[in-house]
Amino acid sequence: MLRASLFSLLLLAACGKTPSKGDCEKLLEHLVELEAASAGGGAMPADQKGELDQQKKKVRDSVGLDFCLKDMSVDQVECGLKARSLDELDKTCNKS
DSSP 41: G
Number of H helices, E strands in the chain: 6, 0
- State the sign of the Cα–Cα–Cα–Cα dihedral 15, 82, 7, 63: positive
Percentage of the chain modeled with pLDDT above 90: 47
Number of domain units in the chain: 1
Give domain status of residue 9, yes or no.
no
The pLDDT tens digits of the residues spanning 39-72 come to 876 667 777 788 888 988 999 999 999 989 998 9
Q: Is residue 15 part of a domain?
A: no
Q: How far apart are CA 7 and CA 59, in angstroms?
A: 13
Residue 35, domain extent: 25-40+47-96
- Alpha carbon of residue 6 to chain centroid: 7
Residue 16 maps to a domain: no
Q: Is residue 95 part of a domain?
A: yes
- Indicate whether 35 belongs to any domain: yes
pTM of this structure: 0.75
